[in-house]
Structure 1
Amino acid sequence: MFEKLRVKEHMEVATSTGQHIGTVDEVKDDQIKLTRSDSSDGAHHYIAFDNVDKVADNRVYLKQGTPIPMGVGAN
């Protein structure tokens, strides 16, 4: 498990295999808000903290099988 306080603005968010999907814009309640600049549709997208596996090397890694919102980097 990880500490939510370790997730900071501008950290990279990646799949379990390390593929970039976005950048943290802000932490909101139990979700990570991704920057619009990383999305193909120009919209903010959110990832639930339940989908975070670990935080390491200034990067947030998601659990394997996490659904990635349409319009985000890996899609």
Structure 2
Amino acid sequence: MRRVHDLILPFDNNPAERTIRIAKLRIKVSGSRRTLLGAHDFAAIRTYLAATDRHGQNMPDVLGQAMRSRPWTPAA
């Protein structure tokens, strides 16, 4: 019951739920994924973008850097 003592923690799980919502929506719209590899790639990209968004990074800039082999990593 860490939430009882630490009032900074959110009382819901919305950030995690928002992260997987687009994947579930994509399954509903298209019916399924074509391949398991495609599903893994989609999940990796969405996870990366969710992390950059949580750290206040500009997602199009971060994607451009990743495509130029200079991926963003969070500060230690």
Would the TM-score normalized by the shorter structure come out above 0.5?
Answer: no
Higher strand fraction (1 or 2) = 1
Larger of the two Rg values belongs to structure = 2
The structure carrying a bigger helix percent of its residues is 2
Larger relative CO (CA 8 A, sep 6+): 1 or 2?
1
TM-score in terms of structure 2 length? 0.24
Q: Given the two structures, how large is their TM-score scaled by the length of structure 1?
A: 0.24
